Amino acid sequence: MKELFHIKFLENNDLLIVVSLIFGILTFASVLFYVIGKIKPKANLKELKARTKSWWFMATIFILATIVNTNISYIAIAFLSFVAFRELYSLLGFRNSDRRAIFWAFISIPIQYYLAFIGWYGAFIIFIPVVMFLILPLRLVLKGNTNGIVKSMSLLQWTLMLTVFGISHMAYLLSLPEIDGFNSGGRGLLLFLVFITEINDVMQFTWGKLLGKNKIIPKISPNKTWEGFIGGLISTTIIGYFLGFLTPLPTIQIIFVSFMIAFSGFVGDIVVSSIKRDIGVKDTGNSIPGHGGVLDRIDSLAYTAPVFFHLVYYLAY
């Protein structure tokens, strides 16, 4: 029982403070949207509500990692990858003859997360970009249907990279070795990543609503403005500075890393938006009702996770 629960968590004030802060903010947001929804039934809060819901999910993964058991969060993040991969590939219009290769791509998900779990960095970092990159085309070739095979090879690899390889860096944070004098560990880093990515989304949205005038890329994301983007960058970097105690980094590096999370979060957001735009416009016949859930939820994390991981890995480990 003692092994299952991190009793130490209760003594670790750093984590406890931030976790309470997150749940406080989330509760506040949920109540706020609920009240606004009651007062103004016409207000369009669908997007905001979906976002809050997804952050509840992320926060719960983290709380499981800290209070209950770190192993559960490996499984939860792997499941997130699985659902995201399934959702994206289902929309991309693969051929029937790709099914065997897709099956192997699914099999690679538990393997990738197992490598993260045992902390075998060398294998973790090459498994999808090298091993799967070489194996999947072979499986497609063995099936023998060359009509459209290049498209399938590229799509499959790219989908794996975005939804599995990128996201799995969140899990590897938990496997990073202990550093003397830094007791939040991988859990602190994961919390920092998720919280900063979340706050960046919120900040960009808020600044955009308050001051937004000049659109950055109206063709892809009409709601994205320069004011929101820059406001988000600045406020996220400042918040990152104050939460720096969750990382083992010195101040100047914390500022740089927070800035990079804010920037790459924005990039992830617009990249996934452009995908949805492409699918929504081109292949309406192939898509499925009530869709687009998980993809929206992992958009910024798919970019911030690997960027943050490799910066920290280079700077501190």
Partner 1 sequence: MRKITLKIIYSFLVRWFLKLVVGVKFDNAKFLLNETQFIILANHNSHLDTMALLASLPSNIIHKVKPVAAGDHFGKTKLKGKLTEFFVNALLIKRGRDKENPANDPINKMIKALDNGYSLILFPEGTRGEPEIDQPLKKGIGLILEQRPKIKFVTAYMKGMGKAMPKDDNLIVPFNSTLIYGKPTLVISKNVSEIMNQIENEFTKLRIKTTDNNP
- φ/ψ bin of 148: left (φ > 0), alpha (ψ from -120 to 50), beta (otherwise): left
Q: Would you say 244 and 232 are in contact if contact means Cβ atoms under 8 Å apart?
A: no
Shortest spacing between CB 288 and partner 1, in angstroms? 5
Residue 30 or 90: the one with the smaller Cβ distance to partner 1 is 90
Residue 82 or 127: the one with the smaller Cβ distance to partner 1 is 82
Shortest spacing between CB 90 and partner 1, in angstroms? 4
Residue 153 or 307: the one with the smaller Cβ distance to partner 1 is 153
Which residues, 6 or more positions from 288, have their beta carbon under 8 angstroms from its beta carbon? 90, 91
Shortest spacing between CB 94 and partner 1, in angstroms? 8
Residue 106 or 120: the one with the smaller Cβ distance to partner 1 is 106
CA end-to-end distance (rounded Å), the chain:
31
Shortest spacing between CB 26 and partner 1, in angstroms? 24
Query: Where does this chain bind partner 1 (CB under 8 A)?
Result: 82-83, 86-87, 89-91, 96, 99-100, 102-103, 106, 276, 279-280, 284-285, 287-292
Q: Would you say how long the chain is, in residues?
A: 317
CB count in 10 Å sphere of residue 233:
21
Residue 96 or 147: the one with the smaller Cβ distance to partner 1 is 96
Task: Give the residue ranges of DSSP H helices in the chain.
Answer: 8-11, 13-39, 46-63, 70-91, 99-118, 121-126, 133-143, 149-160, 166-173, 185-211, 226-242, 251-282, 294-316
Shortest spacing between CB 87 and partner 1, in angstroms? 6
